Amino acid sequence: MEIAELGEFGLIRRLTEDIKPENPSTVKGVGDDCAVLDYGGPNRVLVTTDMLMEGVHFDLQYTPLRHLGWKSVIVNLSDIYAMNGMPRQVTVSLALSKRFSVEDVEELYAGMQLACQAHHVDLVGGDTTSSLTGLAISITAIGEAKAEDIVLRSGAQPNDLVCVSGNLGAAYMGLQLLEREKSVYYQQLREAGDKKDEVQFQPDFSGREYLLERQLKPEARRDIIKRLRQAGIHPTAMMDISDGLSSELMHICTQSHTGCRVYEERLPLDYQTAVMAEELNMNVSTCALNGGEDYELLFTVPLTFNDQVSQLEDVKVIGYITKPELGCALITRDGQEFELKAQGWQPEGLRPKD
């Protein structure tokens, strides 16, 4: 069987479904944003790891190394926040090919250190090795939370409100913009023939700065976790949106044994996202549902918290949780109901075949 037949999540399930923790310190293993460990202290330990591969997760032709360093840390810290915890340390492992200079690696680390400083996190170790294929970055983040504060994916209940922070689809639109300008550049090179050295290409990013920032320099929503705590709101389930809203919401529903209803008209969209989607002749709602890399927080809260959560800055209620037999559905602007499908981003080579 080819890996593409299973896809990323199917492969993970197949590899881990028979793994049973042996140590009592393992409170929660595979299946959530972080593993949860108990070493007898006042807080639980949260651990998550993520790998970024050149040519799969990032393109160095348009990704500055400092931005890449920032992003590689942020995507891990986001997982800690998604468990309602606070990150404390990260370790960094790199695989480097010969084309990278010392100055390149320093620039990458500068971005990592900026992210650590912004979130009060210590970089405490890692590993470096050689690579024959390019750059690979593997980061492990360690955080902590009180046992009663931890939020898993599995706690959503029927009638809970489905909430999301920020806006959706902007990071995906930023990626489409970068890929479009890259395509234009290569087209100019092809047309130049033997005069490639004379090509002076200036990408057109005017009025699209927000989209680029969302793709190249995302932010982990530490502020939302603090607002929830200040408001006395404890989510019943939570994830960060890395693979797309549809995918993440279906993870919550699967692990909580529920269904859901999400309203298209309530999806939070930025103006630049809508304009870019129209320019590219793409459905903006589809981009919001399936684009990925937003790193916003998706969470559910009891219906009784409707007034409190509605007053939270940069948080929007987009739907509600239902009984499992009702399934997962999107309610369109004209009132039609369509099955919600997880069409989120998957790495090349792990995508199911058509």
Averages of pLDDT over runs of 10 residues in the chain (354 residues) are 74 79 90 93 96 94 97 98 98 96 97 98 96 95 98 97 98 95 85 73 86 97 97 97 94 96 98 96 95 96 96 97 97 94 50 36
Amino acid at site 281: N
Domain range for 119 is: 3-145
- The reported pTM is 0.92
Number of structural domains (the chain) is 2
DSSP class of residue 239? E
- Does residue 197 lie within any of the structural domains? no
Q: Are residues 25 and 89 in the same domain?
A: yes
Question: Is the domain of 37 the same as that of 80?
Answer: yes
What pLDDT is recorded for position 1? Answer: 82
Residue 198, CA distances (Å) to 187, 191, 201 in order: 14, 11, 10
**Tokens of residue 303, six digits:** 């219906």
Q: Based on the fold, state whether residues 61 and 113 are members of the same structural domain.
A: yes
Q: Can you read off the two tokens belonging to residue 271?
A: 């103006």
Characterize the bridge pairing of strands 136-145 and 44-53. antiparallel
H-type alpha helices, the chain: 3-16, 65-82, 102-118, 170-192, 209-216, 222-230, 245-256, 271-279, 284-290, 306-310
- The amino acid sitting at 171 is A
Q: What is the CATH number of the domain that holds 31?
A: 3.30.1330.10
Residue 79 Rama label (left phi>0; alpha psi -120 to 50; beta): alpha
pLDDT of 351: 38
Q: Does the residue 189 lie in any domain? A: no
Torsions phi, psi of 51, nearest 5?
-120, 135
| 283 three-class SS | coil
Does residue 104 lie within any of the structural domains?
yes
Residue 216 phi/psi, 5-degree rounding, is -90, -30
Residues 120 and 86 in one domain: yes
Residues 111 and 246 grouped into a single domain = no
Q: For position 350, what pLDDT does the model report? A: 35
Instruction: Check whether residue 228 and residue 112 sit in a common domain.
Output: no
User: Given this model, what pLDDT does residue 223 score?
Assistant: 98
- Return all residues near 16 (Cβ < 8 A) that are at least 6 apart: 29, 30, 31
C-alpha span between 225 and 323 (Å, rounded): 27
Residue 191 burial (C-beta neighbours within 10 Å; 0-12, 13-18, 19+) = exposed
The pLDDT value recorded for residue 185 is 84
Q: Write down the pLDDT at residue 346.
A: 45
Is the same domain home to 216 and 136?
no
- What is the per-residue pLDDT for 343? 61
Q: Are residues 168 and 99 in the same domain?
A: no
344 is a domain residue: no
